[in-house]
Amino acid sequence: MKALVLHKKGDLRLDEVEKPSPNENEVLLRVKAAGICGSDIDRVIHGGVYSFPLIPGHEFAGQVEQVGAGVDPNLVGKRAAVFPLIPCKKCPSCEIGQYAQCEDYDYIGSRRNGAFAEYVVAPAANLVLAPNDNITYEELAMCEPAGIAMHAVRLANIDIGDTIAIFGAGPIGLLLAMIAKNTRGCKVLLVDVDSKKVDFAKSIGFADAINSLETDPIEWISEQTDGIMADVSFEGAGVSKSVENCLLATRKFGKVIGVGIPHKDITVSMQAYQVLLRRQLSLIGTWNSLFSSLPKNEWKLTANLIANGTIDVSPLVSHRVSLSVGIAPIEMMAKREEFFNKIMYMP
Ligand SMILES: [Zn+2]
Ligand SMILES: [Zn+2]
């Protein structure tokens, strides 16, 4: 089969490799769509993986082609998204179904071969079957970033009609916006430093979006909320300025939700930290998504919302490319050479 193999840092090549076969409790999927995550930039360009060679790709969907021993043969032909984290099912976190906190997990696309390939193997337990025929493979592949956004929205415990501020209008920020608006009736205020992202947010129905390099976001949020400030602020950029803005943008007794992963130290001003104290804010961290049945499998929930039209994630797919273009789209993302949202390999 054809696959994009990462041989060493910065060296991702289209190779002919052996098609994998499913072991016990696994399935073989024909990959139909595989999104490039921001984290793949670090993985591919900077070699941030556990071993070489590796096929990256963890945001994907495909059709089950073959099942291993112990797997229901009726799964063959089914369309599915895949939760890429493979939990150990032995540690204390796994005991309570908090797989994202597993202490000894495997991961499709970073610790074991992923989906930038024609085929990929995954545990049958990690499949999220397409809820109906309407949902496309691209949309199923969006369940990974959308599941992360869903998790953040659920942890924020947003009330109906809350005003939320989102700092960072990339794919996760926009998915957060869609889920909060369409499931909780939120007023969404979006802030980014990239005018193209702001314009794109407006084009998909988020009129209240600004470039914080041009408009003071705190003054703007104050105006938008009659001086009360946002009920909940989401930090989606993972940078100090954005964390600072989140604190200042949040109302008394409000919540600040951390979603963006930082790559440098985060520092905030004394004034912002005092706001955290004086306004008695709650600062809540979020990580990945919930994949156990109780209280709710956030992947299945997300797939259902997409399939029944509650949220429309398809406009977020900005580029569709074949495996033959190789590393090019990942380099483009790293250099921010052109506007992009979610870029998908369509093997
Ligand atoms: Zn991802
Ligand atoms: Zn575990």
Cα(88) to ligand 2 centroid in Å equals 4
Euclidean distance between CA atoms 318 and 340, whole angstroms: 6
Closest ligand to the CA of 175: 1
Cα(292) to ligand 2 centroid in Å equals 13
Cα(25) to ligand 2 centroid in Å equals 18
Q: How far is CA 50 from CA 36, 144, 155, in A?
A: 18, 21, 30
Cα(278) to ligand 1 centroid in Å equals 35
Q: Where are the alpha helices (DSSP H) in 112-234?
A: 137-141, 143-156, 171-184, 195-203, 217-224
Cα(323) to ligand 1 centroid in Å equals 18
- Protein residues within 5 Å, CB atom, of ion ligand 2: 87-88, 91, 94, 102
Euclidean distance between CA atoms 30 and 270, whole angstroms: 53
Closest ligand to the CA of 98: 2
Which of these CATH numbers, 3.40.50.720, 1.10.1140.10, 3.30.70.260, 1.25.40.10, describes 148-285? 3.40.50.720
Euclidean distance between CA atoms 91 and 98, whole angstroms: 10
Cα(37) to ligand 1 centroid in Å equals 4
Cα(148) to ligand 1 centroid in Å equals 9
Euclidean distance between CA atoms 180 and 149, whole angstroms: 9
Cα(100) to ligand 2 centroid in Å equals 8
What pLDDT is stored for residue 169 in this prediction?
Answer: 96
Per-10-residue mean pLDDT of the chain, 347 residues long, equals 97 97 98 96 90 97 98 98 98 97 96 97 98 98 97 97 97 97 98 96 98 98 98 97 98 98 96 98 98 95 98 97 97 94 96
> Domain-by-domain residue ranges, the chain?
2-142+313-345, 148-285
Closest ligand to the CA of 102: 2
Closest ligand to the CA of 95: 2
What pLDDT is stored for residue 275 in this prediction?
Answer: 98
Cα(287) to ligand 2 centroid in Å equals 15
Query: Could you tell me which CATH number the domain at 2-142+313-345 has?
Result: 3.90.180.10
What pLDDT is stored for residue 49 in this prediction?
Answer: 87
